[in-house]
Structure 1
């Protein structure tokens, strides 16, 4: 595609056009297929320390906040019912030695209305 300057290709099923695929679609799919590297022992130790710190927090005792550490970046995921839980989880994670950044993927759910709001869009918080 690159060599012949082809940017998009038709997708045909049973002789009918069903869609168009772009180079960016193919590249996105290829990057998802790459296997993630196994966490290092340092990352595993950091992850255990963050999980222990989160277990001390009242908000994480419900088990809805999870953490995964890759290359020193603590990725917080799950659901929270109060925005103060987000801040508490981030503070707990950033106080663990070895954490270089925090990636917030926590979804806030309003307990009264059941409305779910995704995490704020932005870059990782550097520690």
Structure 2
């Protein structure tokens, strides 16, 4: 799955010369948490988000560094922080170091960027222009579609084979036995960490066609050899 299949288009952006009030009203009315900042030529120059707008002098939440920290920062850095806390234009408060992604990138790459940089959205850029936005909300909408779309129901033998194949790829799945009857999965065997129990159940529940999972796994404490039934 690629970014272009999930991104939101057309792009709702804002000019760097716009007021922060306009940015706030746009975000509130559209129920979004950030806007790409796009100049008159159509180039991406920044992004303005809720996070950029809450460290404000009006709230008393602006940076109040100690005298020692102020000395280390220097007057230029302190001046920039003042502008971010009291500026009235989008260009005053926007983040300029923006992470972007091309439309053909895999979704896994987009999620990795979001996690690494702790961001909620990625402008999708092609040829120097923003052609879409991929947000966490877009990913959640697709996840909801994937887990709620009815899947073809295989017969019991095919279901058993699919679960066993998936278990074989997991380091905790080697000693788990699977039986299936009328879509009901019966798990038996040995686990060495009780967290493996829930993992095995989740794996079985995710197989298309499973109606119920019965857990009869036995937990063996690996050091003492003590056996604990479910």
The Cα shift of 1:77 comes to 0.3
What residue number does 1:102 align with?
213
Report if the CA contact (8 A) 1:57-1:88 is conserved. Answer: no
What residue number does 2:226 align with?
115
Q: CA RMSD in A?
A: 1.1
1:56 aligns with 2:152: no
Residues 1-127 of structure 1 correspond to what in structure 2 (within 5 A)? 42-60=155-173, 63-119=174-230
In structure 1, how many angstroms separate the alpha carbons of the residues matched to 2:159 and 2:199?
18
The Cα shift of 1:57 comes to 1.5
In structure 2, how many angstroms separate the alpha carbons of the residues matched to 1:64 and 1:55?
9
State the secondary structure of the residue aligned to 2:164: helix
- When the two structures are superposed, what TM-score results if normalisation uses the length of structure 2? 0.33
State the secondary structure of the residue aligned to 1:114: coil
In structure 1, how many angstroms separate the alpha carbons of the residues matched to 2:204 and 2:169?
11
In structure 2, how many angstroms separate the alpha carbons of the residues matched to 1:99 and 1:69?
9
Runs of at least 5 residues in structure 1 that lack an aligned partner in the other structure? 1-40, 120-127
Runs of at least 5 residues in structure 2 that lack an aligned partner in the other structure? 1-153
Name the larger-Rg structure: 2
Q: Structure 1 or 2: larger helix share?
A: 2
Q: Structure 1 or 2: larger strand share?
A: 1
